[in-house]
Structure 1
Amino acid sequence: MAARVSLLLRALPLLLWGGLDAQLSERRGQELRREAEAFLEKYGYLSEQVPKDLTAARFGNAIREFQRVSQLPISGVLDPATLRQMTRPRCGVADTDGQAAWTKRVSALFAGRRAKMRRKKRFAKQGSKWYKQHLSYRLVNWPQHLPEPAVRGAVRAAFQLWSNVSALEFWEAPATVPADIRLTFFQGDHNDGLGNAFDGPGGALAHAFLPRRGEAHFDRDERWSLSRRRRGRNLFVVLAHEIGHTLGLRHSPAPRALMAPYYKRLGRDALLSWDDVLAVQGLYGKPQGGSVAIQLPGKLFTDFEAWDPHRPQGRRPEIQGPKYCHSSFDAITVEPRPLQERWAGLPPHIEAAAVSLDSGDFYFFKGSRCWRFRGPKPVWGSPQLCRAGGLPRHPDAALFFPPLGRLILFKGARYYVLARDGLQVEPYYPRGLKDWGGVPEEVSGALPRPDGSVIFFRDDHYWRLDQARLQATASGRWAAELPWMGCWHANSGGALF
């Protein structure tokens, strides 16, 4: 984010041999203090613009706060250890409010559930969290010297790290649709202001913005590494840390926290500290079914390049199969197939599709418009406005449900039953999705199967519904567990958790 404290770097060898007064001139001492003041202001320890007559007391208090967050002996003096800490590569996000949020979390541990509920309300300020739990992301680019599959694997694992301990779920958005969170590598000044310009190896390695903007930026010129056999900064740790910021998490002063200002080292200890888990659960709640993967050790994430499917290392079979096996899809009808190949005239990014098992006609939905095809030919001369019949705009999925002989649309937490051969919602609908026991919200597709079940899809997961009981009886990853999807080799040996 900021230029490195170059004067401090030059002064360190001298400081290690003696005290500030003994080895440096008064002028050099003044330069070091100005550099330290700029650092403390940049990272939130001097909240107002540094005045020329900054008092020694205020400067000392800022030093003490920095030493407390950095786990240094608290002296209030600009000693060699404090100067050395200021020169270490770190996150470019300011440390503002981190201590206060940490204090609230610690208090909640001892004050019980009521205090925890009050803390949750205070913590969720406007713009500091996402008001949804299903988020998309995009990796815009990556360092040229790292293989793309390894970087994508590290990104996927970094998001999974947070979803394992919270109610959040993430999916990688296709390049043609907007994404909630964007990860980009930049060089130098990249229109974030001169204070956020990257400066090559060292200094600030990355910075991120809270949920209102949903971006994380990384220094493209840094010596990044995703392999234990290479020297360089571990990109996975930096990715996981900056993603935490995009979710609304501040820096933590807790020992060994992933969200500490200075990036955690991978080792045998748990990758997330108790404070990291409390922070993300305070914003988004616990995962359904309880937390299952809090104690993931860092040693699991030391060699992403070994997972590169394009390198013949024998550890992972090469990923094969259609392109959709390695991404998500918008809608599904009878079989996985690009829509425009069969139904000419359909726009891209259809949001829902279904086939009537009575007439064999195909129905497609996008926004407030709908299309009907008999075979490859349209039944209607032009798309219809289906809003007039009470249908929802931008439906999540469509399904022909054999027991009713009707089309059903799903949108969020509700579903709509359509009249036979028409675009009119039946009376007494919509109803709540709880009627479909265990089917999640925001599904991307639904498909009746010959065995009498219905398969619901969302991202890389599926849910199998018993039609008679209207109850989900199984779930899993569709690419790896549903052979008729044609993805026999997808995810082979690639599961991270």
Structure 2
Amino acid sequence: MQIKIHLRKYGYLRTDQPSLHEFREALIAFQVRLHSAFTCSFNVLNVQEVAGIEPTGEVDAQTVEATKRSRCAQEDVNRRSNRAKRFSLSSQSKWDRKHFTGEHELLLKWYISNYTNDIKRSAVRFVISCILRIANVIPCLCRSTVQKAFQLWSSQLNIKMLPHVSIKFEEANSQAEADINIMWAAGEHGDQYKFDGANAKENVLAHTFFPSYTFPLNGDIHFDDEEWWDIDETATDHGKRFFPYVLAHEIGHALGLQHSRKSDALMSPYYKRVPLDRISLDIDDRCGINWNYVGPSNFCLFVWLMSEIVPIHNKSEMMSDSAHVMRSTSSRNIHTTKRLLKSESIEAFNSNG
């Protein structure tokens, strides 16, 4: 009896009989929460697939750890379709015909307008090969790395027995002449995407503007200069950001590619510490570029469909199991809610009587 008094006094038990309208509102609110939980589980599966970890649909320690990894600022999912494709193209995002020297021959010029001082900390061994004054060591090292990153893309776009795009990159003499301007900046730096600083919560290291973005930012690549950048392949300090891999990834965006859900692809949103000479463009990356500039092909469509079918099948089975559990839980909760409401009504009637 004492517990009932306590529950009634502090609002746990109602003394008035709930109306049918109130019951319906409570039921709708419960269904909304149920749908939210189902959607959340589906989205967690997507995050796990992109991060290359076991897809459980549950927010486990491995999933939380994946969200802390350094990554690109571009979104992984198209907000309009709420879907992430394996090689996803930004709508109409490709360089226009004035940049072509042939039917499928693209020429782009790049320029580094603002350097970072970080590179010299880990690249002393390259100084001799530069054969330049000390003041020019940093520009030399950066330019050498940038050239290799562009060469990675231009040399690996071929798909056997299919027409493919040929991309040639050249260093421009000035920023005004360049199609792709590369720069380091901190915080607010002239565009609407402020950098969050070193080791920030979001772990965003760089951002790139698609070819279709407003001139003159289209194609430009920006790096957060508050981060500690290096090009040392042997470094073990996880606080350092490996510039070559990040740059190679961002070049993909400058060419019009969005993120890939395939963890082995260079266009996966998560950065890795892999040297440029050990990076092989995944078929996903190559299909994306050629689909964008040459056009659709049955081969790439087949690759995409086959890479989609198994994950979707596994995911739908998992979500079906989850839905069954949720429906069972929902039925039990609705039954319990009705019983409790009925009990409260009887209790209210007895107490008023």
Equivalent residues in 2 for 1:355-374, closer than 5 Å: none
Of 117, 120, 126, 1:144 maps to 117
Please state how far the C-alpha of 1:52 moved relative to its aligned partner.
11
| 1:87 partner amino acid | K
What's 1:190 paired with? 189
SS in structure 2 at match of 1:135: strand
What does the per-residue CA deviation read over 1:222-242, in whole Å, with 9 as the maximum and x for residues that have no partner? Answer: 111112354422101111110
Equivalent residues in 2 for 1:485-496, closer than 5 Å: none
1:82 and 2:63 equivalent?
yes
1:60 and 2:41 equivalent?
yes
What does the per-residue CA deviation read over 1:345-373, in whole Å, with 9 as the maximum and x for residues that have no partner? Answer: xxxxxxxxxxxxxxxxxxxxxxxxxxxxx
Partners of 1:53 and 1:247 in 2: CA distance: 41
What does the per-residue CA deviation read over 1:374-416, in whole Å, with 9 as the maximum and x for residues that have no partner? Answer: xxxxxxxxxxxxxxxxxxxxxxxxxxxxxxxxxxxxxxxxxxx
SS in structure 2 at match of 1:170: strand
What's 2:108 paired with? 135
Q: 1:77 to 1:174 in 2, by over 3 A?
A: same
1:256 and 2:264 equivalent?
yes
Equivalent residues of 2:94, 2:211 under 8 A apart: yes
Please state how far the C-alpha of 1:59 moved relative to its aligned partner.
1.9
Unpaired segments ≥5 residues, structure 1? 1-50, 105-122, 287-497
Query: Greater RCO between the two (CA within 8 Å, min separation 6)?
Result: 2
1:164 and 2:155 equivalent?
yes
Of 102, 107, 132, 2:86 maps to 102
Please state how far the C-alpha of 1:54 moved relative to its aligned partner.
8.3
Unpaired segments ≥5 residues, structure 2? 1-31, 101-105, 120-137, 158-165, 213-217, 296-353
Please state how far the C-alpha of 1:193 moved relative to its aligned partner.
3.2
Displaced runs of 4+ in structure 1, greater than 6 A? 51-54
Partners of 1:53 and 1:144 in 2: CA distance: 52
Equivalent residues of 1:61, 1:76 under 8 A apart: yes
1:281 and 2:290 equivalent?
yes
Partners of 1:261 and 1:199 in 2: CA distance: 19
Equivalent residues of 1:259, 1:276 under 8 A apart: yes
Please state how far the C-alpha of 1:280 moved relative to its aligned partner.
1.6
Please state how far the C-alpha of 1:76 moved relative to its aligned partner.
2.1
SS in structure 2 at match of 1:90: coil
Equivalent residues in 2 for 1:233-252, closer than 5 Å: 233-252=241-260
Please state how far the C-alpha of 1:265 moved relative to its aligned partner.
2.9
Partners of 1:89 and 1:214 in 2: CA distance: 22
**Going by fraction, where is helix more abundant, 1 or 2?**
2
Equivalent residues of 1:223, 1:233 under 8 A apart: yes
| 1:262 partner amino acid | Y
SS in structure 1 at match of 2:64: helix
TM-score (norm 1): 0.40
**Going by fraction, where is strand more abundant, 1 or 2?**
1
Please state how far the C-alpha of 1:135 moved relative to its aligned partner.
0.9
TM-score (norm 2): 0.55
Q: 1:280 to 1:67 in 2, by over 3 A?
A: same
Partners of 2:41 and 2:62 in 1: CA distance: 15
Aligned residue pairs: how many? Answer: 217
| 2:148 partner amino acid | A
Partners of 1:228 and 1:264 in 2: CA distance: 11
| 1:186 partner amino acid | A
What's 1:209 paired with? 209
SS in structure 1 at match of 2:207: strand
Equivalent residues of 2:114, 2:183 under 8 A apart: yes
Partners of 1:262 and 1:270 in 2: CA distance: 14
Equivalent residues in 2 for 1:216-227, closer than 5 Å: 216-227=221-232
Please state how far the C-alpha of 1:152 moved relative to its aligned partner.
0.6
Equivalent residues of 1:254, 1:260 under 8 A apart: yes
Equivalent residues of 2:112, 2:175 under 8 A apart: no
Q: 1:171 to 1:99 in 2, by over 3 A?
A: farther
Equivalent residues of 2:87, 2:285 under 8 A apart: no
Partners of 2:223 and 2:244 in 1: CA distance: 12
Root-mean-square deviation (Å): 2.9
Please state how far the C-alpha of 1:128 moved relative to its aligned partner.
4.0
